[in-house]
Structure 1
Amino acid sequence: MDQALNILTARLLAHRFIPRRDPLARRALVDEAFRESLERRLGEVGLRLLENPYAEHIAVALRPEMEDWVFGEGENWLSNNMGLPRDAIALLVVVWALIILPKRERQISRAEEIGDTQVDMFGAEKPIAHGDDVSVGVPEDAVYADFGRQLGGKMRFATNLGQLAKLGFVVRRNRMIQEGPLLDLMIDYAKLAPRIINGALAEVLKLSGTRIAVDEPVSAAEDGTDDEAGDE
């Protein structure tokens, strides 16, 4: 176990995230003893495992009690540890709402259709559906047309979108914005979704025809999702 644990820990630290279908990642999801050892190893250096049954990857983030020591306090505290400006964070939230909320609705609907209501925090052999059939991208031009002016104009939009892609939040293909490895891991669905569904952005999304998931069977404590965007 020690060698496998060393390899998985090193890969998580070096790559930030790995696919959940990876053999060692799957072992961490189905082998409780191995997962506990991994979490203990990460905890010894101030880190924690990020695992969301709805996401296609696993990753690592700082433990909350380490954030002040790493990122500073008071005036030195950053709104996020990725160095993103406010307009980039706003773009991240918009993209998350356009991609993850509809995806979550499709995943919940699919689970209900097959009668799968059991939540397995360690990952069942038949996990929740992932992939292109549930995660659908959005056109860059459409996002810019709807939100570009509010997000700083064409130059800022392109720059910030490139930064989000570089950090692993999104993937850009043929002028389509698609879900990146960290988009569904680094943002806490349980906290952000109600704010969007019940807030001002909900009206914008409704006008654009985007459906939003209103039922979430997995709490933040159960799915291990992070607290805020960029908390790595």
Structure 2
Amino acid sequence: MDQALNILVARLLAQRFVLRKDPLARRALIDEVFRESLEHRLADCGLQLLENPYAEHIAVALQPQMEEWVFGEGDAWLSNNMGLPRDGIALLVVVWALIILPKRERQIARVAIGSEDQSDMFGAEKPIEHGEGVAQGISEDALYADFGKVLGGKMRFATNLGQLTKLGFINRRNRMIYEGPLLDLMIDYAKLAPRIINGALADILKLTGTQIAETEVDA
């Protein structure tokens, strides 16, 4: 087991992420003894395993108690350890919301893209699907049309997309943006999803309701 464990740890550190269907990654997910050994080995280095059943990859990250030691403290503290500017972080959140939120809804319902309106009495018994069958891509042009100007303009938008690609958050093909290996791992769904759904979305709905009310008054 030591050799397999060494190989998996080395790959996680060198490659940053490993497909969950990889034999060693699968072993870490289903073999309790191997998983505990992996977590202990990573913990000895101040790291922790990142995985969730909805993500297509597994990865590693710093343990929370190690962040200040690695990234500094006080005036030297970095607000984000990826080196992203504020408009880059904002773009990342927008992309996450447009790709991961719909994907998670499909995964929970066990449906593929285009099958949302079809009933399936055995859907809950199906395994959770991954990949582009459930994670739909978004158009770069449409994303820029909707958010580009408030995210720094054309040059900043293109630069930040390149940085998100380099960091492994997204993949880009034919001017389409797809989920990258780390998009569903490095961002905490449980914390961010309610803020988006109950925060930003609630504000939009409130604004829409106000506009409807004003229309009715004018009429």
Compute the TM-score of the two structures, normalised by the length of structure 1. 0.82
Residues 159-195 of structure 1, C-alpha deviation per residue, up to 9 Å, x if partnerless? Answer: 0000000000000000000000000000000000000
Q: Is the 8 A contact 1:53 1:127 kept in 2?
A: no
- Change over 3 Å in CA distance of 1:106–1:203 after alignment to 2: farther
Shift of 1:110: 1.2
- Structure with more of its chain in helix, by fraction: 2
Query: How far 1:133 moved relative to its partner?
Result: 1.1
1:49-128 alignment runs, 5 A limit: 49-110=49-110, 113-114=121-122, 116=124, 127-128=127-128
Give the corresponding residue for 1:35: 35
Q: Give aligned-pair identity as a percent.
A: 79
The code of the aligned residue for 2:155 comes to M
Q: Which residue number in structure 2 is paired with residue 226 of structure 1?
A: none
Q: CA RMSD in A?
A: 2.0
The CA deviation at 1:79 is: 1.1
Q: Measure how far apart 1:202 and its partner are.
A: 5.6
Equivalent position amino acid for 2:31 in 1: D
**Secondary structure in structure 1 of the residue aligned to 2:78:** coil
How many residue pairs get aligned? The number is 199
Structure 2 stretches lacking a partner, 5+ long:
112-119, 208-219
Q: Secondary structure at the match of 1:198?
A: helix
Match of 1:194 in 2: 194
* DSSP-derived class of the 1:79 partner: coil
Q: Is the 8 A contact 1:103 1:134 kept in 2?
A: yes
Relative contact order higher in (CA < 8 Å, ≥ 6 apart): 1
Whose radius of gyration is greater, 1 or 2? 2
TM-score normalised per structure 2: 0.86
Describe the superposition over 1:60-84 as per-residue Cα deviations: whole angstroms up to 9, x where unpaired.
Answer: 0000000000000111111111100
* Pairing 1:151-230 to 2, within 5 Å after superposition: 151-201=151-201
Match of 2:26 in 1: 26
Structure 2 match to 1:149: 149
Structure 2 Cα separation of the partners of residues 183 and 202 of structure 1: 24
